[in-house]
């Protein structure tokens, strides 16, 4: 056997492979309790086992909050946007519609066909400045019985309601006032489609963020040979290169956010000031939950003194959250965060407005009732806009 400096060619090749892996920027895998590991994701099998280069045992996909890829994206504006029912938007190079299906093309020329029921809206044109407020408001409507077309006229948009028939390369066919009209595609800013009110919790799915700025909720079927296979809304199979993925946000079957649950008790006792009632996924002023410069999608916003209790019924093992006083308090505020399980105090921490956020992780195995208390601090309740960000309960094990 041929050898190089006393080392076999096989061993030398293996050493080179390990060196190549070591030279790669590692992915960041955030666990349900908030801790993180650095490693390179190599594969995800059909059972959700996440295999990494640097560890012999796989991680459970449902044991993760997210996977962050090493390379931060810098997406360029796309010619078209396709907004999905249930959340997410796809950046496309082109979009067509044939009365039943939308067909879009990615920048790499791959195409995707979506049934009408999955699409909330389509942006076909551009205007100087931000997205027209009327277009955003129409997308945000909980329910709409008619399609709405936004036409560009002298640099502004005008909306008409009716029924979309087709989107072609040069024109859009749309019915309004009981007649089909053909509008030059260049004159159409976008369309918002009729939709029914619905809520999807996305449990067991991932919010997949692509480096081109696209995002969509999907079930991860597998990651193999550098290709991520997904299923959207249980209907559409989709594959994207793993190198095109920026982040996976996992909505784990083992994790429940308290803002998605109804408290069995809510007691609010302001002392001097009153900022408003407790809120889900917002601070007490109705604004995004913000600690320092970090904005959180999920959590509870309260004002001291506030006690919220939730039924666990022995189903969870861990409570975790990031706590602090909302950035809108401008560094003011002083309150005490307390966590109790079945009346037993598990955690207590005084927080002031200038303090950095703090992480909470306490065992609640077997507990029937979880209580989150924010009490007055040394400065009465002035500016006590307290946030339980990412407040969640977790089941351990697969």
> Taking Cα atoms as reference points, which of 203, 256, 228, 239 lies closest to residue 364?
256
Which residues face 141 on adjacent strands?
none
> Taking Cα atoms as reference points, which of 395, 393, 398 lies closest to residue 320?
393
CATH of domain 3-68: 2.30.30
- At residue 276 the predicted structure's pLDDT band, cuts being 50, 70 and 90, is confident
Which residues face 60 on adjacent strands?
49
**Cα pseudo-dihedral 324, 328, 331, 332, rounded to 10:** -90
State residue 173's pLDDT score: 97
Contacts of 141 (CB under 8 A, 6+ apart): 192
State the DSSP code for 380: B
- Return d(Cα 115, Cα 193) in angstroms, integer: 12
- Return d(Cα 80, Cα 82) in angstroms, integer: 7
- At residue 75 the predicted structure's pLDDT band, cuts being 50, 70 and 90, is confident
State residue 259's pLDDT score: 96
Q: Please say whether the beta carbons of 332 and 287 come within 8 A.
A: no
Query: What is the widest separation between alpha-carbon atoms in the chain?
Result: 85
Q: Is 308 left (phi over 0), alpha (psi -120 to 50) or beta?
A: beta
Mean of the pLDDT values across residues 13-28? 53
- Return d(Cα 194, Cα 138) in angstroms, integer: 10
Question: Around Cβ 340, how many Cβ atoms within 10 Å?
Answer: 20
State residue 1's pLDDT score: 33
Question: Which three-class secondary structure state does DSSP give residue 70?
Answer: coil
- Return d(Cα 49, Cα 95) in angstroms, integer: 35
Which fold is adopted by the domain 255-394?
Answer: Jelly Rolls (2.60.120)
> Taking Cα atoms as reference points, which of 280, 23, 201, 239 lies closest to residue 110?
239
- Return d(Cα 198, Cα 360) in angstroms, integer: 33
Mean of the pLDDT values across residues 153-161? 90
Q: Please say whether the beta carbons of 192 and 147 come within 8 A.
A: yes
Mean pLDDT, the chain, whole residue set: 90
* Segments making up each domain of the chain, as ranges: 3-68, 80-192, 255-394
- Return d(Cα 352, Cα 192) in angstroms, integer: 45
Model confidence over 107-131: pLDDT tens digits? 887 899 999 999 999 999 988 888 8
- At residue 398 the predicted structure's pLDDT band, cuts being 50, 70 and 90, is low
Question: Which three-class secondary structure state does DSSP give residue 195?
Answer: strand
Tell whether the model's pLDDT for residue 7 goes beyond 80. no
- Return d(Cα 64, Cα 30) in angstroms, integer: 6
Phi, psi of 327 (to 5 degrees): -60, -25
CA distance to 287, 307, 382, per residue, from 273 (Å) = 18, 17, 6
State residue 288's pLDDT score: 96
Burial grade of 48 (CB within 10 A; 0-12, 13-18, 19 or more): buried
Model confidence over 345-380: pLDDT tens digits? 999 999 999 999 999 999 999 999 999 999 988 877
- At residue 272 the predicted structure's pLDDT band, cuts being 50, 70 and 90, is confident
- Return d(Cα 236, Cα 113) in angstroms, integer: 8
State residue 133's pLDDT score: 93
Q: Is 95 left (phi over 0), alpha (psi -120 to 50) or beta?
A: beta
Q: Please say whether the beta carbons of 339 and 293 come within 8 A.
A: no
pTM (2 decimals)? 0.84
**Helical (H) or strand (E) element with 353:** none
Query: Which of 71-75, 99-103, 218-222, 241-245 is least confident?
Result: 71-75
State residue 382's pLDDT score: 81
For 294-333, b/e burial (b = at least 16 CB within 10 A) is eebebbbbbbbbbbbbbebeeebbbbbbbbbbbbbbeeeb
Question: Around Cβ 201, how many Cβ atoms within 10 Å?
Answer: 11
**Helical (H) or strand (E) element with 14:** helix 9-23
- Return d(Cα 82, Cα 214) in angstroms, integer: 9
């Amino acid at each position: 056997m041929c050898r190089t400096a006393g080392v076999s060619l096989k061993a030398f090749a293996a050493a080179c492979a390990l060196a190549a892996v070591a030279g790669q920027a590692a992915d960041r895998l955030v666990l349900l309790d908030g801790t993180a590991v650095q490693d390179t994701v190599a594969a995800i099998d059909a059972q959700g086992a996440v295999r990494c280069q640097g560890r012999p045992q796989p991680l459970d996909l449902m044991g993760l909050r997210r996977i962050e890829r090493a390379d931060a994206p810098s997406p360029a504006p796309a010619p078209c946007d396709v907004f999905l029912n249930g959340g997410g938007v796809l950046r496309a190079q082109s979009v067509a519609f044939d009365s039943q299906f939308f067909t879009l093309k990615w920048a790499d020329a791959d195409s995707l066909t979506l049934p009408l029921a999955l699409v909330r809206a389509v942006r076909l044109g551009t205007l100087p400045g931000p997205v027209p407020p009327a277009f955003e408001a129409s997308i945000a409507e909980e329910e709409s019985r008619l399609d709405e077309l936004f036409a560009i006229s002298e640099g502004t948009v005008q909306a008409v309601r009716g029924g979309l028939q087709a989107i072609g390369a040069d024109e859009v066919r749309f019915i309004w006032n009981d007649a089909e009209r053909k509008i030059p595609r260049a004159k159409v800013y976008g369309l918002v489609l009729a939709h029914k009110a619905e809520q999807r919790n996305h449990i067991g799915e991932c919010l997949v963020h692509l480096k081109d700025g696209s995002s969509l909720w999907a079930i991860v079927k597998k990651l193999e040979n550098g290709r991520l296979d997904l299923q959207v809304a249980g209907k559409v199979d989709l594959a994207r290169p793993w190198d095109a993925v920026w982040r996976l946000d996992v909505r784990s079957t083992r994790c429940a956010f308290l803002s998605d649950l109804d408290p069995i008790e809510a007691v609010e006792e302001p002392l001097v000031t009153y900022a408003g009632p407790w809120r889900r996924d917002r601070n007490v002023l109705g604004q995004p939950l913000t600690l320092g410069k970090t904005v959180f999608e999920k959590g509870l916003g309260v004002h001291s003194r506030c006690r919220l209790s939730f039924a666990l019924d022995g189903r969870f093992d861990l409570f975790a959250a990031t706590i602090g006083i909302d950035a809108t308090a401008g560094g003011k505020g002083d309150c005490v965060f307390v966590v109790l399980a079945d009346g037993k105090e598990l955690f207590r921490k005084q927080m002031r407005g200038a303090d950095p956020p703090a992480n909470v992780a306490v065992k609640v195995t077997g507990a029937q009732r979880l209580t989150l208390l924010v009490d007055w601090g040394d400065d009465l309740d002035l500016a006590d806009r307290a946030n339980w960000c990412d407040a969640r309960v977790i089941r351990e094990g697969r």
